[in-house]
Amino acid sequence: MNQLVHRLPKPFDNAPLEIVPHRVPWGLSGLAVFAFFAVPWLGSDYWLNAILIPFLVLSLAGLGLNLLTGYAGQTSVGAAGFMAVGAFATYGLLLRVPGLPLPVALIGGGLIAAAVGWVFGIPSARIKGFYLMVTTLAAQFFLEWVFTKFPWFYNNASSGTISAPRLELLGVDLSSPVGRYLLTLVTVALLTWVAVNLVRSQIGRNWMAIRDMDTAAAVIGIRVERDKRRAFAVSSFYLGIAGALWAFAYLGTASAGSFDINRSFQILFIIIIGGMGSIAGNFIGAAFISLLPIVLSYAGQALLGGSVDAGQIQNLQKMIFGTLIIWFLVKEPDGLVRLIASLREKLAVWPLRF
Amino acid sequence: MTGSSKLSILAAALMLSTFGSTSLARAAPNEQFFPLATYRVGAYASSGIPVWAGMIDYLRYINEVEGGVNGVKFVWQECESEWTAEKGIECYERFKKGLDGAPVAIYHPNGAPAAYALSDKAAADRIPLITLGYGRTEATDGSVFPHNFPVMLTFYSEASVFINYVAQQEGGFDKLKGKKIATVYHDSAYGRETQGPLDLLAKKYGFENIQIPVADPGNEQSAQWRQVRQAKPDWVFLRTWGVSTPVAIKTAARFGFPANRIVGDIWASSNEDVLPAGDAGKGYLALTPYPGGAEFEIHKRIKQHILDKGKSDLKDPKSFGSVYYNSGLINAAIAVEAIRAGQKKFGNRPLTGDEGRWGLENLNVDDARLKQIGFHGLMQPLKLSCNDHEGGGAAKVQQWDGAKWNLVTDWVHADRKTLRPLIDAKSAAYAKEKGITPRDCSKES
Amino acid sequence: MIFFLETLIGGLLAGTMYSLVAIGFVLIFKASGVFNFAQGAMLLFSALTFVSLQEHGIPFLQSLLLTVVVIVIGAVAIERAVLRPLMNRSQITLFMATLGLSFILEGLAQGLMGAEVRALDLGIEDTPLMLGEVMVSQFDLVAASTAAVLVTVLALLFNKTHIGISLRAVADDTRAALSIGINLNRIWQIVWAVAGCAGLVAGLLWGARQGVQFSLSLVVLKALPVLIIGGFTSIGGAIVGGLIVGAAENLAEVYVGPSIGGGITPWFAYFLALVFLHVRPAGLFGERAIERV
């Protein structure tokens, strides 16, 4: 017995203590410092309200969907439905539970969305691929219907909308653009950190195994059905919080119509353009999707404004948007995040390829 | 993907980074900015395009023929809102500071989602919003909603106008007893808004109130009209929007329900709504605060000075005088008159949002004024106050003859007194939810 | 009882309108594995082209022919610019590409032909017809027979012509089809053109009912549950699925709807599809995928 142990190569003495070498992420820290301290000083109302807040919320929503689609391999086009659950649940909690602090309400909204997501994840046990995708459409339409049909969800308002309750944290008013920006930023940063760790944990690795081939995953002992449902729940948790932020930190007022099928497609675009199965990809994809129409609109105004009919400019923008999407899909199937990585590799050896 | 479009994106990105407002239209200091959050693409573009043409034509007419409002000319810029909340917010944020020094006095959100989303933001920025024929009904109460102006005809008034018209046709309110009145509505906040007032009126007059929802987008309605056929109502109030209107009219014909017993509401009253229905639309009735027709005085002026000189924004001259074109004219005229009212107090210069709001709350366009500006018959007299942000509350009923709308009534007035308690209750509930202390309207001047 | 019968028949007939849309999906999915979300935009584009041609005073038949020519050109262009570069990519990538394609088509259609609503009169009487005591819509009858004709034509195309047989070969086993020298690109072009023509038929019928306008492109959302129930790969399935969805939707709205608030059509069909999927995960007529580890 003793001999046997000695014949084996020494396993632990020279193995690295950390599997992934730990480096201080200077770039990321710099970005965080910039986002937390410089942006609130520099950013105008327009930048905060119309660009940065929606960008951050969409990134979070993309992250939520990416956990489900990019990591666990379950395509969903019902993302906006779960966002609606989060928004309406958070609203209901703040309205009906007096004195509930904002973070608790947000997490509560997320948990309720997670429960709903779990339920809609049940069919994933039997249904796969495009068939599953269309069943998530059922969730989308059903949830939209629920939140227009039953006035209890929006406190019987005749407009059918829910509007932001007072955004307060420990007595500090967060309803200014900077306050809403910081609220969003902190939430997104925290949840991103959680997600990064989640996908490196056991469950994240299970998901990737399922994504790559669920039959094979089942063969090696992963409880496929349970983990798929968990993916739906976790993804919906993220989407729910993103929905609450979309409604209260960004729009101010929301109705079921704010979470329609087009929003679901938009989020799907984000993860596909950004990169499936990548955390950073969500941010890049969200930046692309939310900035491109604005850039195109300014470009249209500046280059063609006045000389060409305004409607034609809009149609042209739409076509350019579609063309760009196809072009990216053709050029880089793994998303912008891969494009940037390969650009970096090329730059590393530029100009001398040696 | 061509090289040139890549270049344009690059150029735009550069512009975004240098920033400021990147407009080419240079505004002089003595100009009033008129922001246009439009929608020219997407599902609702067909109804939007004539509206923008009406607005732009009227502004152009004011600028070029009347030399502006007391010498203050308008400058305008468009921004595509796609009838969505988030693009609407982007446009609003882009425009709210004005354009090169020309301030914003009044903002048109143009679209229900944007109107709701901007309500709080505009209150914080002190910019008044005009929402003609949409938006929160309870904003009629200006003490709680100082910056929202659902002028002329809210959905509550619309329901009342409809019932009053039916009573007219049946020969008195006492004849309503025992009648069956069905509402076929677009299943959304907009569609459900009239349930409250119709309930109240049904109790008051004793008619049977049947509500039948049509789910968005409403391109298949045989189930709904089968229900209508089974219920055999005396009148149908059609509260649809977009494609659901022509489909409703066609499906009604398929089930043999007569078109002249259907009354469309403000969003089911345009040429675009009935044209696709073809022959099925003959005899169809609709109520509207901005009736169709190109024979009004203002049309003669615009035709002479704008349209015939090729300066109109209309691509299709057939739309001149269409319902939506006229709505654009009226929307612009209300803003122009409000600015005129504001200038009386603040001097003949461009106004800020606060001053524009004052102008709106002190707006009084009576018949004599309507005749002067050429809107007599097209627009109802409008008097707004702190307590009453709606003002009018009347609509005309028009009938489609297969080619154009013909007016069949004069202004039918809503019974606003009966409905006001409903509105006050709603606005009080809103004030409580948001912690707003209503201002004291007796102290406003 | 008569009311029930009327609802049922009306629903079945309305269902064929969904089937018409679904057939285009099935054709493309079978031959190229693409879940073509742009089918709605194709519907809009082809119907708009037809109406615009008619507005220019071109007679019915010529307009129809010209539209078909446009569709064929479009199909070739799509195959060249979108499908060929994306060959062998994952299905989801192709799906996203068709979403991008729908943006282009919508922009192009409205840019070239305007966004206003057009009336389309096919000369079909749309008055109620009494069969005994049951009222039936004439228009629906015409639509149903059109669907029948379309399916017959497609069946002949697939079973009797050379192209059809090679098409089936591609659908069965793409690699084997390639190895015996079938030109895959050509097949795809043909399939997209045929699907475009099916879309034209659907677009004209739907357009006659609701006016030719942007909302035509939303009809696809109605067709998806039909596909689920019938299976992505079966044209017969699309017909049966359409009938089931149409009948169930109408019956549910009339009998179940009032008790839970009504307006349930947008999601009811999807729920029905979910129920079907639990029993048959690949639809009624879909092919079951066999997985190897």
Tell me if C287 is assigned to some domain. Answer: no
Q: What is the mean pLDDT of residues C100-116?
A: 88
CB within 8 Å: C263 and B223: no
What is the pLDDT at residue B17?
Answer: 41
**Of C86, C206, C99, C218, nearest in space to C142 by CA:** C206
User: Looking at residue B7, what is its pLDDT?
Assistant: 43
Mean pLDDT of chain C: 87
In total, how many domains does chain A have? 1
Is A339 inside any structural domain? no
Report whether pLDDT(A60) > 80.
yes
* pLDDT surpasses 90 at A236: yes
pLDDT computed for residue C291 by the predictor: 66
Is C266 part of the contact surface with chain A (CB cutoff 8 Å)? yes
Q: Which domain holds residue C249?
A: 2-279
Q: Which residue is listed with tokens 């760790």?
A: A197
Half-sphere exposure (Cβ direction) of B236: Cα atoms closer than 13 Å: 30
Q: What is the number of residues in chain B?
A: 445
> How far is residue B92's CA from residue B108's CA, in Å, rounded to a whole number?
9
| C87: nearest CA partner in chain A | A330
Q: Which residues from A are below 8 Å from B426, CB to CB?
A: 157-158
In the prediction, which pLDDT does B149 show? 94
Contacts (Cβ under 8 Å, ≥6 apart) of B138 = A158, B144, B145, B423, B426, B427, B430
Identify the band that residue B44 occupies on the pLDDT scale cut at 50, 70 and 90: confident
Tell how strand A162-163 and strand C134-137 pair up.
unpaired
The residues, ordered by sequence, that sit 6+ positions from A315 with a Cβ below 8 Å of its Cβ are: B40, B41, C107, C108, C110, C111
Q: B239 phi and psi, to 5 degrees?
A: -115, 65
Q: Which of C3, B427, C269, B179 is nearest to A159 (CA)?
A: B427
A163 lies in which domain range?
A: 2-257
Set of chain A residues whose Cβ sits within 8 Å of the Cβ of B12: 295-296, 298-299, 302
Looking at residue B14, what is its pLDDT? 42
Cα B1 to Cα A341: distance, rounded to the nearest angstrom: 22
pLDDT of A114 > 80? The answer is yes
Closest by Cα among A61, A45, A264, A294 to B82? A294
Least confident among A148-152, A261-265, C77-81: A148-152
Closest residue of chain B to A148, computed from CA coordinates: B188
| Cβ atoms of C269 and C19 closer than 8 Å | no
pLDDT at res. B24: 41
Identify whether B217 is preceded by a cis peptide bond (ω within 30 of 0).
Answer: yes
- ipTM for the predicted complex comes to 0.86
Dist CA B72 CA A77 (whole Å) = 51
3-class DSSP state of B215: coil
CB B266 within 8 A of CB B285: no
Residue C50: per-residue pLDDT: 94
- Say how far apart CA C41 and CA C39 lie, in whole Å: 5
Chain A interface includes B23 (CB < 8 A): yes
**CB contacts, 8 Å: A213 with chain C:** 291, 293
**Contact list, A305 vs chain B (CB under 8 Å):** 23-25
In a domain, C292, yes or no: no
Distances from the Cα of B430 to the Cαs of A161, A253, A343, B28, B433, in angstroms? Answer: 12, 13, 54, 41, 5
Taking only the tens place, the pLDDT of each residue in B344-391 is 999 999 999 999 999 999 999 999 999 999 999 999 999 999 999 998
Residue B65 is classified by DSSP as T
Does residue B80 sit at the A interface (CB-CB below 8 Å)?
yes
**Minimum CA–CA partner of C5 in chain B:** B226
Residue numbers in A near B187 (CB within 8 A) = 148-149
Share of chain A above pLDDT 70, in %: 91
| Average of per-residue pLDDT across C112-125 | 81
| pLDDT of res. A118 | 94
Cβ contacts of B90 on chain A, cutoff 8 Å: 50-51, 294
Q: Which residue stretches of C114-183 are H helix?
A: 138-160, 162-172, 174-179
The tokens describing B430, both together, are 């809103």
| Dihedral angle of Cα C249, C252, C255, C259, to the nearest 10 degrees | -130
What is the distance between the terminal CA atoms of chain A, rounded to a whole angstrom?
52
Beta-bridge partner residues of C134: C131
- The mean pLDDT of A202-231, rounded to a whole number, is 91
- SS3 of residue B186 by DSSP: strand
Q: What is the dihedral of CA B245, B249, B250, B254, to 10 degrees?
A: 140
CATH number at residue C86: 1.10.3470
If you count residue pairs, one on B and one on C, with CB atoms under 8 Å apart, how many are there?
Answer: 117
Least confident of A20-34, A107-121, B93-107: A20-34
Mean pLDDT (whole number) for B405-427: 92
Reply yes or no on whether the pLDDT at A54 is more than 60. Answer: yes
Mutation for testing the A interface, residue in C44, C92, C106 having most A CBs under 10 Å: C92
Nearest to B118 by CA among A51, A252, A292: A252
Report which residue type is found at B400: W
**Whole-number Cα distances in Å, B107 to A148, B86, B113, B388, C172:** 28, 16, 15, 19, 60
Across residues A148-167, what is the average pLDDT?
A: 79
Residues C191 and C28: beta-carbon distance below 8 Å: yes
**Is A335 inside a domain boundary?**
no
d(CA A81, CA B330): 38
| DSSP sequence for B370-385 | HHHHT-BTTB--EE--
B256 pLDDT above the threshold of 90: no
Q: Is C289 on the interface with A (CB under 8 A)?
A: yes
Chain C touching partners, 3 or more CB pairs below 8 A: A, B
Q: Which residue has the tokens 């119907």?
A: C47
Cα distances (Å, whole numbers) of residue B442 to A326, B142, B365, B387, B390: 61, 12, 21, 9, 18
Length, in residues, of chain C: 293
Residue C221 belongs to some domain of the structure = yes
The residue type found at A20 is V
Chains contacting A (3+ CB pairs below 8 angstroms): B, C
Exposure letters B171-188 (e unless 16+ CB within 10 A, then b): eebeebeebebbbbbbbb
Task: Find the residue in C nearest to B47 (Cα).
Answer: C116
Identify the residue with better confidence: A235 or A29.
A235
Stated pTM of the model? 0.88
Query: Nearest CB to B219: which of C3, C135, C219?
Result: C219
Q: Is residue C289, in this structure, part of any structural domain at all?
A: no
Instruction: Summarize pLDDT for A278-325 with one digit per residue, the tens.
Output: 898 999 999 988 888 888 888 877 777 666 677 787 788 889 889 988
Q: Do C266 and A213 make contact, defined as CB atoms within 8 angstroms?
A: no
Contact between chains at A323 and B1 (C-beta distance less than 8 A): yes
Number of domains observed in the structure of chain C: 1
Nearest to A158 among B15, B16, B426 (CB): B426
Contact A319 C108 (CB under 8 A): yes
Q: What is the pLDDT of residue C200?
A: 94
Is B89 in the A-facing interface, judged by CB distances under 8 Å? yes
With respect to residue C293, please indicate whether it lies within any of the assigned structural domains.
no
Tokens at C4, concatenated: 């029930």
- pLDDT, residue B202, reads 94
Residue A29 inside a domain? The answer is yes
Backbone angles phi, psi at B264, to 5 degrees: -80, 155
Confidence of residue B15 (pLDDT cuts 50, 70, 90): very low
Cα(B423)–Cα(B250) distance, rounded to whole angstroms? 35
Query: Does some domain include residue A66?
Result: yes
Q: Is C145 inside a domain boundary?
A: yes
Over residues B329-353, the mean pLDDT reads: 94
pLDDT tens per residue across span B128-178: 999 998 888 889 999 999 999 999 999 999 999 999 999 999 999 999 999
- Average pLDDT along chain A: 85
- B274-304: pLDDT as tens digits: 988 888 899 999 999 999 989 999 999 999 9
Query: Beta B412-413 vs B73-80: how paired, if at all?
Result: unpaired
Residue A306 burial (C-beta neighbours within 10 Å; 0-12, 13-18, 19+): exposed
Residue C3 has pLDDT above 80, yes or no: yes
Compare C265 and A260 and report the one with higher pLDDT: A260
Per-residue pLDDT at B376: 92
Query: Cα separation of B216 and B240, whole Å?
Result: 9
What are C75-107's pLDDT values in tens digits? 999 999 998 898 888 887 888 899 899 999 989
| Chain B CA closest to residue A326 | B1
